Amino acid sequence: MRDIFNTYGLSQLLYLSISLLRTRIFYPKAKLIRFPIDIRGRKYIVIEKGLTTGVGCRLEAYSKNEKVLYLGENVQINDYVHITAMKSVVVGNNVLIASKVYISDCSHGSYSGDEMDSCPESIPRTRPYKTSKVVIEDNVWIGEMVSILPGVTIGRGTIIGANSVVTKDLPPNVIAVGSPAIPIKKYNFINDKWEKITSI
């Protein structure tokens, strides 16, 4: 008991107790939702058992008739994470997401270099949304202040380094860093070690 007081202090324990009570009432499948939390379009969000969040998280789902944001079992989301879904964002089981992470399957307008491109003279907020599915597979660890952009799949067991921007698919069991994020290490299951990737 003394260790708990040394870790959190009395005021933090009181706050956690209130958050736990609110979690049991409003999100019974979750483990702990720290308040405040901003959830928009709740009926279009699937939350499996064991979800833990930090403070100030924002979960958004914009849909007309189907679930578009799925959070698997035992997902841990830390402070000020922002996830928005219009088409499909799937977060697998046992995913760890650090603080200030942004994940989105949509953007205001199109910028891919084709006839559908948005004109810079148009007002950004009025540009038609472009959407593309995001998949984060099981056991992924996403570092602090990472951005994951539309159309990305992150393979099982992959780690994304802090401040990275994920613009393209990443394979399973790699460590990826940078903007855009690229794999720099891959796990070798034969010798149980992370090894540097010598050619990309």
Kindly list the catalytic residues. Answer: 108
What CA–CA distance (Å, rounded) separates 143 from 88? 22
Sign of CA dihedral 165, 49, 133, 57: negative
Question: Omega into 36 within 30° of 0, i.e. cis?
Answer: yes
Instruction: Name the DSSP letter for residue 119.
Output: P
Contact present, 154 and 133 (Cβ < 8 Å) = no
Instruction: Name the DSSP letter for residue 22.
Output: H
